[in-house]
Structure 1
């Protein structure tokens, strides 16, 4: 394998492919190819280490080690058996194989997964007389098999835990956002550090956490470990210390920032406080318990970015059908000069708000189809 021209794939929440492509380009990736729910690219091992450290949008970084055609599970076994697995990791490391498929003709994905696992274990047994152990919960090595109608791809995970896990254990609210989806909302809303930001439904504070860390130039992976640190063929000692040193050197000290969080519920604000404190950011964000319908903007202009409450049960939907028009009126009357970017699984939200939307970006929060609605707020003239 050419160490300067490896193939990688970064899965991401659906809808973030374009902004992830831009982020990867800024980090030095080449041959960037957006696909459904992720982005492929080429580059060196050092680049992939940097992407793990710096990417705010990717879910993980997968290193492609094989690609080919197949017709049966035996084809998968034979081609996997021929790969130099023992060059990449040790037999003492625990293993898990995950399979994803799109239009695969195979009847059982579980059996395809089993054949890949068998091939890896048989390779080690033939080479070293023993096989790696399987751990489906916290494996040290994750192998990913992707199947389409005619081709397979085998990849090794270089991230370990998902990249949306930033090294702290946040307290979750009722409807938590993953950190990379929160970063995607900030990117799609065109927020930049220094621009006043208000989350009027801050919940556990995920959007504010992400904005504060970006403002202080903290690399998202600065306080965690990665799977590539345990891959045998990667030049970790050659590149990783320098990458960490560069990331640490640019971090700014915590300071009050033009970031505000509001919520009607005191327990939600307490979650935000706990999460900010766990990240050493408690003095960076101003928090206030207030009903958004009685709120006022903290400064003349800025970005209001929020994950709106979404009713699943009938009673919740009835309550929100009254709340949304009142929210639209509050935004129009009190937040003129601001731009609202509202994230919701209610695809009819603009009709309920009676506000003019200039952009509707399709996104997914897990399997839930959502939209990010962009609404410039102009007093008295924005009713659709």
Structure 2
């Protein structure tokens, strides 16, 4: 049976996510702002959760109505066959987002959706699920526009960028699905040399290594759909087994990471170990301005310090030209990609960007600047 789904993702990655969903077997794909709608069966839904590197989560559409008041949304919530999907022993959380909704209080909308769900369970089961805002079994998402309300049941649980292994805490983490998206935007392919010269906790390195070894990003974790009443354990175990069998086991990869801070390198090493990637990536304590290219050509990708990550604006502006000089001096033949919220970065580096791709990093409006470094050229 074909179901309708919506997969949110970081803004700017929608076309890439659409390609990924098609590869997972979607029968209809419609990119929109902030995500991609699709259709497919439950094998498709399981596969997206297991395989998607770019989606934030996969939401299953379970209800839709036009509305003018909170009571119409309540009636929608009470009419969905929740008891077919999960039980009263499962805890719930309701998330409501809206664009141009005429209703005054989203908190009241949230309350009425909760009331509708609980009243449905009381009528069917004689009891109701408890609310857990921290670690719920079931997440119900409601999206309101000016005239319509759509209800979704979250098949993923924790966001899909949480790959399932413990990570060392860092000051300014880069979400895994955004890192994977930037790697895809760069055109990098497994087997090509990759370098992150300011690798921090190693997010780019881990995502690249998993891509190179064909490790499904969801293999190390559990999902909300495993608690659905209609969960097909045999189908799910078959998909997991197939993913495990196709993994590669190369001894080492042409993937390199460097950072000026030894503590950051220790974080990266710990995270690589937690991901089962010890020895796959080469790490070096080094200032990016002094770094030598590990190959004659390759892809350099990084999330450098900017604005909120560096206390002094003057310090940053003095550093940018030095970074541009270092690239010209040591990375001719390389394609370089930098994610930054400083939209003047390319100008301050003194290099001509060959591409500027808008992306949202959380609430930050960012760009991925592409520099194709050629010796003696591209100086602005």
Rounded to whole Å, the distance in 2 between the matches of 1:313 and 1:76 is 42
- Extract unaligned runs of 5+ from structure 2: none
How far apart, in 2, do the equivalents of 1:153 and 1:252 lie?
Answer: 41
The normalised TM-score by structure 1 is 0.97
Aligned twin of 2:118: 121
- Structure-2 residue corresponding to 1:52: 49
The match for 1:370 is 366
1:13 corresponds to: 10
Corresponding residue for residue 85 of structure 2: 88
Q: Any idea what SS the aligned residue of 2:90 has? A: coil
Q: Distance in 2 between matches of 1:64 and 1:260?
A: 42
Deviations 1:326-370 (A, max 9, x none): 110110121100010111111001101111111100011100111
Residues 22, 96 of structure 1: alpha-carbon distance in 2 compared, 3 angstrom cutoff: same
Structure 2 CA distance, aligned partners of 1:195 and 1:314? 31
Q: 2:31 aligns with which of 14, 34, 41?
A: 34
Number of matched residues? 380
Among 288, 296, 306, which residue is 1:292 paired with?
288
CA shift for structure 1 position 118: 0.2
- Contact (CA 8 Å) 1:254, 1:283: kept in 2 or not? no
Deviation of 1:282 after TM superposition, in Å, equals: 1.7
Looking at structure 1, the residues matched to 296 and 178 of structure 2 have their Cα atoms a distance apart, in angstroms, of 28
Match of 2:251 in 1: 255
Q: CA deviation at 1:60?
A: 0.4
Q: Tell me, what secondary structure is at the counterpart of 2:237?
A: helix
Find the counterpart in structure 2 of residue 228 from structure 1.
Answer: 225
In structure 2, the partner of 1:324 is 320
Alpha-carbon shift at residue 312 of structure 1 (Å):
3.1
Other-structure match for 1:62: 59
Q: Are 2:154 and 1:157 equivalent residues in the alignment?
A: yes
Change (3 A) 1:49 1:315: closer
Q: Distance in 2 between matches of 1:379 and 1:338?
A: 10
**1:332/1:382 contact within 8 Å kept:** no
Scaled by the length of structure 2, the TM-score of the pair is 0.98
Corresponding residue for residue 278 of structure 1: 274
Q: Unaligned stretches of 5+ in structure 1?
A: none
Residues 178-189 of structure 1: pairs in structure 2 closer than 5 A: 178-189=175-186
Distance change (3 Å), C-alpha of 1:133 and 1:360? same
| Paired position in structure 2 for 1:199 | 196
Cα deviation, residue 28, structure 1: 1.3
Aligned-partner Cα distance in 1 for 2:213–2:80: 43
The Cα of 1:237 is off from its aligned counterpart by: 2.2
| Secondary structure in 2 matching 1:312 | helix
Structure 2 partner of 1:79:
76
Query: Which of these residues, 261, 266, 272, is aligned with residue 262 of structure 2?
Result: 266
Q: Confirm or deny that 1:357 pairs with 2:353.
A: yes
Q: In structure 2, the residue corresponding to 1:143 is in which secondary structure?
A: strand
Specify whether residues 284 and 23 from structure 1 end up closer, same or farther in structure 2 by C-alpha distance, changes over 3 A only. same
> Aligned residue for 1:23?
20
Separation in 1 of the partners of 2:84 and 2:149? Answer: 21
Structure 2 CA distance, aligned partners of 1:329 and 1:131?
A: 64
Aligned partner of residue 312 in structure 2, secondary structure: helix
Return closer, same or farther for 1:314/1:336 CA change in 2, 3 Å cut-off. closer
| Alpha-carbon distance in 1 for matches of 2:311, 2:37 | 44
CA distance in 2, matches of 1:30, 1:374: 34
Write the deviation string for residues 65-100 of structure 1: whole angstroms up to 9, x where unpaired. Answer: 011211100001112212211111101111111100
SS in 1 for 2:132: coil
What SS does structure 2 have at the residue aligned with 1:273?
A: helix
Does 1:338 pair with 2:337? no
1:308-323 alignment, distance < 5 Å: 308-312=304-308, 315-323=311-319
> 1:139 deviation in Å?
0.5
Instruction: Give yes or no for contact 2:64–2:76 (8 Å, CA) kept in 1.
Output: no
- In structure 1, distance between residues paired with 2:281 and 2:194: 10
Could you tell me whether the CA contact under 8 Å between 2:172 and 2:309 is conserved in 1? no
